Amino acid sequence: MGIFKKLLTGITSSNVMGKYGTLEDWQKASPNELKRYKENIKLGVEQKTVPKIILGSFLMVEGKGEEEEGERILREAMDEGVENAERDYSAALAYYYMQKGKFNTALKKDKWFPKWIEKWIDASEKCVEQGQNLAETSLADIYSSCYGINDPEFDNKVGRIVELFEVAVAKHQSLGALNYARFIKKH
């Protein structure tokens, strides 16, 4: 889960992180603390002291029914060319589905999957193109989790999955070799 630790781009000051929180803070927060973080983030966005992308990430992580709004904010950040927006989009969606216990073929049954999958794959492919850390492993995991051997799309995806895992292993990306072995064993 190391890629999620850097979910909040550009926030480094401990005072600022205390006010807006980090992924770890959000995960451990009580309902009152979550409310405070959310209010602070929204106020920061209104005052233009906090990038909107942080609000989008928060809404995806919070999981309180505003995921669609969070996804929209993150998607707009990508469309506007905000730095690291693809990474944050891909990480937020992966986190959302892991929290829902759907980072597997059950993911296709999620109501948001048809709407989000293309943007998620596109964002993750851009992360690979940009050479972002662990991008190949993350994208291969998305593909291999979403598409099972019985899916009609699988034949079109298997070559890309193998290619991504091989690059991940060559780059010594954490979990690259393990996930590649799991993929081979599963299929």
Do residues 59 and 73 lie in contact, with contact meaning Cβ atoms separated by under 8 Å?
Answer: yes
For the chain, percent of residues with pLDDT exceeding 70: 90
Q: Say how far apart CA 16 and CA 9 lie, in whole Å.
A: 12
pTM of the model: 0.78
- Judged by DSSP in three states, 83 sits in coil
Q: Say how far apart CA 47 and CA 28 lie, in whole Å.
A: 27
The token pair at 45 is 């966005």
Do residues 57 and 76 lie in contact, with contact meaning Cβ atoms separated by under 8 Å?
Answer: no
Q: Is 88 exposed, middle or buried (0-12, 13-18, 19+ CB in 10 A)?
A: buried
| CB-based burial, 56-75: b 16+ in 10 Å, e otherwise | bbbbbbbeeebbeebbebbb
The token pair at 98 is 């892991």
Do residues 145 and 107 lie in contact, with contact meaning Cβ atoms separated by under 8 Å?
Answer: yes
Tell me what the pLDDT averaged over the chain comes to: 84
Section 62-77 average pLDDT: 90
Q: Say how far apart CA 153 and CA 121 lie, in whole Å.
A: 14
For the chain, percent of residues with pLDDT exceeding 90: 40
| pLDDT value at 159 more than 50 | yes
